[in-house]
Amino acid sequence: MKLEPGEAVVLIIRRSETEPPKYFFAVRKSGSSFDEKTKDFQLFGLQETLLELGQKLDFSVAMEKAIASIKGIQP
């Protein structure tokens, strides 16, 4: 996968509300903007899911899979 100018890849880690030791992981691509002055990062447009590992996963296992997905980004 290759990023176009202005695109961002974001790793989403969300802790489960019903089972606190479990997590939801996703890697998504989206248009983005970044304000140098305020250091504010914003996503816009539709998000393209590159990897979604569902919910209720153990943190270390899900992180390894997410990192492998991010390593697939071409410069």
Q: For residue 4, what are its two tokens?
A: 């176009």
Q: Compute CA 15 distance to the chain's CA centroid, rounded to the nearest angstrom.
A: 14
**Residue 34 amino acid letter:** F
List of residues 6+ apart from 49 with CB closer than 8 A:
26, 27, 28
Q: What CA–CA distance (Å, rounded) separates 46 from 69? A: 19
Q: Return the domain boundaries, the chain.
A: 7-70
Q: What pLDDT, in 10s, does the model give residues 4-46?
A: 999 999 999 888 888 777 888 999 999 999 999 999 999 999 9
Q: What pLDDT, in 10s, does the model give residues 41-71?
A: 999 999 999 999 877 778 888 889 889 989 9
What integer pLDDT is reported at residue 14 of this predicted model?
87
Torsions phi, psi of 63, nearest 5? -65, -40
